[in-house]
């Protein structure tokens, strides 16, 4: 990243921009690394020295972690608003453990929201189920998953599947920085949008003119 471009940015902002550039410039490599990491996913349980313990999850599927975080956060806020006198951090931990132990929590009709912003081209590619190796050398701008940063079309495709399975997301789809769609559901591109992208992607590449 250019030093001028990174001036004034926090470490987290720099890391997010670098991650977005890696996804765009090397989509095939990014997807291979993601799949390899998911195969290494694991959980570790550890006892502490103060009579407590810890649970660690490593290399978990991003879309499912986003779901879990949204549910725990919003369920905890729901309980707190209902008069629970525990600190919010305590409620979040107890909700987490209740879920792991199989306790069914009364959501009271609570709607869980996970927010995703994605450029139209990236969204259409994800919705069509295209893989990185089908994109050739042309990079796609990553989407942005709230609290988790840049995500590839493959991750967005996994999120779409999660939404179709019943988990709600808040979609914001943009084109040239302008919002073209916003809703709480699994978004499907219109027939006109699909035909446009198919025609564009099937058009022959321009041949460089021969020098005189």
Answer yes or no: do 103 and 123 share one domain. no
- How many other C-beta atoms lie within 10 A of the C-beta of residue 64? 14
Q: Give the percent of the chain with pLDDT over 70.
A: 74
Q: What is the pLDDT of residues 120-140, one digit of tens each?
A: 888 888 887 766 655 544 567
Answer yes or no: do 73 and 145 share one domain. no
Query: What is the domain range of residue 86?
Result: 61-109
Answer yes or no: do 119 and 97 share one domain. no
Answer yes or no: do 145 and 171 share one domain. yes
Answer yes or no: do 98 and 148 share one domain. no
Give me the mean pLDDT over the 149-174 stretch.
Answer: 81
What is the distance between the alpha carbons of residues 201 and 8, in angstroms, rounded to a whole number?
A: 38
Answer yes or no: do 119 and 198 share one domain. yes
pTM over 0.75: no
Answer yes or no: do 76 and 124 share one domain. no
- The DSSP result for 143-163, as a single string, is EEETTTEEE-HHHHHHHHHHH
In a domain, 124, yes or no: yes
Answer yes or no: do 95 and 161 share one domain. no
Answer yes or no: do 75 and 128 share one domain. no
Q: What is the pLDDT of residues 68-108, one digit of tens each?
A: 998 899 899 989 998 999 999 999 999 999 989 988 777 77
CB 149 within 8 A of CB 16: yes
Please give the tally of structural domains in the chain. Answer: 2
What is the distance between the alpha carbons of residues 42 and 152, in angstroms, rounded to a whole number?
A: 22
> Virtual CA dihedral for 123, 129, 135, 140, nearest 10 degrees?
20
In a domain, 141, yes or no: yes
In a domain, 72, yes or no: yes
């Amino acid at each position: 990243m250019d030093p001028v471009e990174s001036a004034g940015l926090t470490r987290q902002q720099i890391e997010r921009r670098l991650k977005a550039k890696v996804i765009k410039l090397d989509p095939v490599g990014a997807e291979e690394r993601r799949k390899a990491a998911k195969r290494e996913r694991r959980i570790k349980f550890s006892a502490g020295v103060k009579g407590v313990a810890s649970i660690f999850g490593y290399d978990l599927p991003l879309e499912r972690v986003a779901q879990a975080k949204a549910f725990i956060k919003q369920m905890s806020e729901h309980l707190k608003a209902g008069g629970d006198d525990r600190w919010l951090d305590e409620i979040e931990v107890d909700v987490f453990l209740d879920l792991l132990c199989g306790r069914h929590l009364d959501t009271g009709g609570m709607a869980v929201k996970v927010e995703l912003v994605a450029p139209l081209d990236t969204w259409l590619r994800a919705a069509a189920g295209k893989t990185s190796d089908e994109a050739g050398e042309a990079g796609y701008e990553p989407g942005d998953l709230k609290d988790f940063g840049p995500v590839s079309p493959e991750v967005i495709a996994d999120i779409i599947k999660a939404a179709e399975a019943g988990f709600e997301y808040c979609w914001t789809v943009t084109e040239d920085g302008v919002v073209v769609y916003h809703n709480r559901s699994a978004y499907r591109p219109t027939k006109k949008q699909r035909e446009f992208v198919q025609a564009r992607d099937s058009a022959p590449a321009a041949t460089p003119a021969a020098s005189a």
